[in-house]
Chain A
């Protein structure tokens, strides 16, 4: 009992004696002890004795029972602190449940019982060394929660040790402990920052969220700690648990605003939603050489935007909103649109979620109407909505109103005005007023509507209408004298003071327009003056004064009467006003120079009030924050800084560690999601490298998820996202290639016409999606080939004729130019394994110049070392019989230089890899080229007739077919042709039927005919048939086509 009265700090204020009673009652049912009636003191004493006894017994089950009862007391907010000595003895118990309950108790009361709490410390120190990670972690949790200043050094030590624990779970706990220690003793800040720095480097997703939280709480200004971890955090983000995601995203938003330049400058030129603006800006990023646009987004900035976007699909509303605010604060204006749908989706969630989301939308919709306008109907109010939700929806609808939709909105508002919820009806009238001022076309309509409302039976509605009409009239007073007259008529029936005052003010202000009525109104007011509300009296005095000045003949006596009444009013404001007015307007000897100006003072033109949203200035707070919600700065709010004019050094984020090993593991967990989760500088820039790897993986393994992003483009929305990603990818690619192949680029940019001659067919299919790289390499391939004999002009003529109607039918299929050249290039030799020599290969799909049975392959070699590489050539090859046309030995490749060479390989119509050695003067590297089956063909042109004839010969075993469900967008000719052409180097056969698409080619080595038919059935099903005598290639091709066409 003693401890109870001394040690309970805040707690006892409310529940001293009360809790004692409760303790008694609480335990009576469980023990048959009937002593509850003996008064407070004895009962309490007894009960605690009982519990103490149980705690001191030998049986764990009794102890457990006691602890459970104690915890139940704590949960109810009752005081159980006097049991501390008895409880603390059990801290070393073997029973895990008992131990946990004791921990819970300790955390709750240790601060109040510091001396006794110290007894338990040694137990925790021992537990910190326990082999069980759960025990280590919970010991640290409790130790750090005991808010006793003496143990700060012990805590510090424990945190430091835990920060390098094997178990990520313990490390996570240590991140939490940092915050606890910091709040206990801020002097430890410097040491704690060291630990934070260490934990920030942690690669575990488990730790990331917690340590960023600690960072935010302890040292949010130490942005420099983030630099090195920025890319890792971005890449880990999808795999971090949802709560950590929120914290990390918020922190990264702040970080990005200090490190990157604004992406908004040029955007201002474009209409936010227009297609052209989108493509233009897309181009802007791909052609970074273009001097017209100076802004190039930092790849790290892009990385953040790209890696957060999938999280818009999170089930956790806090994550969605945090990504939304990140896009709002960081993304180029034309990309912000992607968050709209997700935010609107959240409106289906719980009421409280709706409330916060609507607030954020309200702020956004003021600046960017276009974002939410298509979803206007989602903001329609239901009679079942809570009051604050209603008014927020009203707010948003008002912000969204424009010339086009105003009639719909007004119709909707008409329903709301009739609502039983009068508060809401009044809000609607204000909203109508705002619409009327904002959109001049409807001002008259609104005004008429409001005037009709004046005859409403409900007082609040009428009053609100009067007030709004007053404001509206003030903006354009000239033509509305009849409305004023109408209001004067209604005046007798209106009782709400504010409305009466408003009408009186209107009379006075525009008394010259209603010269007949105004004096009459004044007469009525003189009669009822004494019984009016103060605000009405003030306006009566005002009206009297104004009338006196304009029409003194009629109103002189009335005015004097009213001024006399006012002089003796109970309210001093009114007495003051009366005195002031009298001196001003009634000429007498005492009135000085001011009297002359009375007219100018009282009848000065007054500026119209501006009706604007209450959310107008909320954007000074970061969206999604508590401060934004309450519209005041919450404690601990961190300002979002403005964009820097010049970006700080980008290289601070470079990380030296490079992980060349990229595994392809489609197996467990979220590997599918976390493709980007390996952190290395190199990795980041060479996104394309990763794509390739996946591509080749899919062609060899059975996995259908080849992620060549150029193939998938679905609805307008995802298309847009896609290509924005695309543009970014190509920008990073181009950056890479510009460093790698400087000379190359110069050459190619000088010869733009060649680009067109090489790939005229590809152009119409997906011109926007071909990044720089593709153009460069293919044009350089043109160079290569044109230096040979037949050159691209041949290919040109073929592909040109392909689109024209064939007149001459040929019995033998003739090789034509490629319908499409994939931009994909594959890694042949990584620069890490190649000791600085890196090589990439690509299939240009040109007929091989050296031998018709060969497939031509293009290899681009780059020297990334700082010394020249000499005598690059091809060494041994396997299988030994491999027929290959090598390139001429490259005598010398200078540092940073790159060169493209072409190669002919006879794959002998199999997808077996061609292995050979790439040699320099000093080294030999084993490399292999793995062709996708589609690359082993050459396109052929033939007529539909010939096609049928050939197909007739290749039935039975030579035919393989499958029915698939086509992706939605793959149902027309263009996308189908493109998808097929991407997978395989085949020519299009012109077909008379709309639903059947035919493609023909022949294999490179043996020249066997390959025929592909895609027949569309009803409801997006399609039958793919492949006829070829190559019974291995048929099914392989079929598989590739299936996955390409079914993909969305």
Chain B
């Protein structure tokens, strides 16, 4: 299936290659690099490229290109999904996924890749299984290893690999048994000039951090599961029980994982936590324009809106800007024409405002369209859909775990058209 993998940095340098079948010359990447040159943004590179003898499927993630070489028919998503797993694995092992990290742990990454695929077909992709085979680096462990001569490589087959629950390793022991769940909801919205909602929906995800000894069997129930319209689960969740009783019953993997993602029923009206008053205008005659943006809280359910940030891609013809913000600060990159206004906390008494003048390049025509504003925000301790976790029960183990649930609402793709 997957023949080779190349990791390529944004400037086009190939800094890691791994082949699972016969070696494919790295010159095959030239087709990709050519396509990359053509694209304006790295995101615009087509994910699937057809070359005379190979098919190149690539993802762009964390400022890196993961490029895989395919020789025969295979579902493209199979490859894309796998490449993302590789990126997640690197993130999971080393804390971040970047060129430096990969270069620093070249051998370990290579060993991991070797374990993940056999002859191009996934062999072990569960993080719990991989971590038993090749232990992630910690300072303590590297010290111990140098002193005792032990290695980072496990010599027995991870139990998960054989069991029906490959995601959990055996013999987990903790002194503090704890299970935390973060309910994170994101609002995707498009608002039009007048502030009316063109489109809005809520997507949520339940992230879990479970550190429990032994083989706990957890049941998580919601106060109002009928809010959930469409869900997808980590393989550990028993689907039948969800279907019949709307509870999440599962034996969790050890550590951090995404338990479920969901989509909130479309009928429910989405509360939009902020409103944006904006006017961006360019004068017909002079090479001049004005910008005036105010952000205020709207439906916040009594919580404070934090981390508010407004990002604007100004038109290419802008020469310079001269703005003042009543709260927070703004940065402007004249190269990319990117204006970022970092507001911070919203104070309902004193609404933050950004205003000033924009000057256009001499002779440039008035821009056709006003740029749209992308809003970022965060509300702690609130799931905007109203979803609430009812209770968490544990079976199968005797001890009493510490349990915690956190709610947070964020802006997803939140766009205001102007």
Chain A interface residues (CB < 8 Å from chain B): 9-11, 13-14, 60-61, 64, 68, 71-72, 74-77, 95-97, 100-101, 104, 108, 111, 132-134, 137, 141, 144-145, 147, 167-169, 172-173, 176-177, 179-180, 183, 205-206, 209-210, 213, 217, 238-239, 241-243, 246, 250, 310, 313-318, 320-322, 341-342, 344-345, 348, 350-353, 355-357, 377-378, 380, 382-384, 386-388, 412, 415, 418-420, 456-458, 624-627, 629-630, 632, 634-638, 668-670, 672-675, 704-705, 707, 712, 714-715, 718, 965, 967-968, 1046-1048
Contacts and interface: CB of A to CB of B under 8 A. Distances in A.
A145 B240 CA distance: 41
B110 A350 contact: no
B1 to A, nearest CB: 7
B71 A635 contact: yes
Contacts of B263: 341, 345, 348
A14 B26 contact: yes
A382 B164 contact: no
A669 B162 CA distance: 12
A75 B17 contact: yes
A626 B75 contact: yes
A183 B162 contact: no
- Interface core residue of B72, B121, B163 (most chain A CB under 10 Å): B121
Given A317-B81, A388-B44, A669-B165, 19 more contacts: A60-B149, A71-B106, A76-B17, A77-B14, A100-B114, A111-B23, A132-B157, A180-B21, A210-B121, A313-B239, A315-B233, A341-B263, A382-B415, A420-B369, A629-B76, A630-B50, A668-B217, A673-B239, A712-B243
B309 interface: no
Contacts of A351: 43, 47, 59-60
B44 to A, nearest CB: 5
Contact of B199 (A11, A377, A635, A967): A377
Interface stretch (B92-100, B173-181, B222-230): B222-230
Contacts of A147: 22
A721 B121 CA distance: 33
Contact of A134 (B57, B152, B156, B190): B156
Interface stretch (B244-252, B300-308, B355-363, B401-409): B244-252
Interface in B16-35: 16-19, 21-27
B241 A705 contact: yes
A625 B235 contact: no
Given A318-B75, A383-B415, A669 B164 contact: yes
Contacts of B286: none
Interface in B207-262: 215, 217, 223, 225-226, 229-236, 238-241, 243-246, 249, 251, 258, 261
B230 A418 contact: no
Nearest to A634: B73
B47 A313 contact: no
B43 A386 contact: yes
A380 B369 CA distance: 18
6 A-B pairs closest in CB distance: A636-B72, A672-B238, A97-B151, A418-B369, A669-B164, A352-B47
Nearest to A708: B244
Contacts of A75: 16-18, 106-107, 109-110
A826 to B, nearest CB: 19
Contact of B232 (A77, A314, A377): A314
Interface in B147-185: 149, 151-157, 161-166
Given A75-B17, A353-B80, A420-B369, A705 B245 contact: yes
27 contacts: A68-B107, A74-B110, A75-B110, A97-B152, A132-B157, A241-B166, A314-B233, A322-B75, A341-B263, A345-B230, A352-B59, A356-B80, A380-B198, A386-B43, A387-B40, A412-B198, A457-B366, A625-B73, A629-B48, A634-B73, A635-B73, A668-B215, A669-B163, A670-B236, A675-B240, A705-B244, A712-B244
B16 A76 contact: yes
Contact of A672 (B43, B44, B82, B240): B240
Given A456-B368, A1048-B244, A169 B153 contact: no
A42 B371 CA distance: 60
B151 A626 contact: no
Contact of B119 (A60, A134, A180, A707): A180
Contact of A624 (B61, B77, B234): B77
Contacts of A61: 149
B48 A95 contact: no
Given A61-B149, A635-B71, A626 B76 contact: yes
- Interface core residue of B59, B73, B246 (most chain A CB under 10 Å): B73
B114 to A, nearest CB: 5
A705 B155 CA distance: 41
Chain B interface mostly:
mixed
B313 interface: yes
B15 interface: yes
A211 B75 CA distance: 17
Q: Give the size range of B's interface with the partner.
A: 35 or more
A674 B162 CA distance: 17
A718 B242 CA distance: 12
Nearest to B19: A108
B112 to A, nearest CB: 11
Given A318-B81, A625-B75, A141 B46 contact: no
A246 B415 contact: no
Given A76-B16, A145-B119, A313-B239, A352 B80 contact: yes
Contact of A76 (B15, B111, B121): B15
A665 to B, nearest CB: 12
B77 A318 contact: yes
Contact of A707 (B40, B149, B244): B244
A342 B119 contact: no
B413 interface: yes
Nearest to B155: A96
Nearest to A75: B110
Contacts of B241: 672, 705
Contacts of A239: 164
Contacts of A320: 232
- Interface core residue of A352, A357, A378 (most chain B CB under 10 Å): A352
A169 B151 contact: no
A626 B235 contact: no
A321 B151 contact: no
A380 to B, nearest CB: 5
Contact of A167 (B24, B162, B245): B162
A1048 to B, nearest CB: 5
Contact of A71 (B48, B60, B107): B107
B77 A321 contact: yes
Contacts of B57: 352
Interface string B283-311: 00000000000000000000000000000
A315 B76 contact: no
A133 B238 contact: no
B399 interface: no
A1047 B225 CA distance: 12
Contact of B74 (A180, A210, A626, A712): A626
A71 B16 CA distance: 11
Given A77-B17, A318-B77, A382-B190, A13 B27 contact: yes
A626 B55 contact: yes
Given A351-B43, A669-B164, A673-B240, A133 B16 contact: no
Contacts of B344: none
A624 B75 contact: yes
Nearest to A461: B368
B235 A242 contact: yes
Contacts of B43: 351, 386
A502 B118 CA distance: 57
Contacts of B48: 355-356, 626, 629-630
A380 B190 contact: yes
Contacts of A246: 75, 78
B181 to A, nearest CB: 16
A213 B117 CA distance: 13
A356 B47 contact: yes
- Interface core residue of A147, A625, A673 (most chain B CB under 10 Å): A673
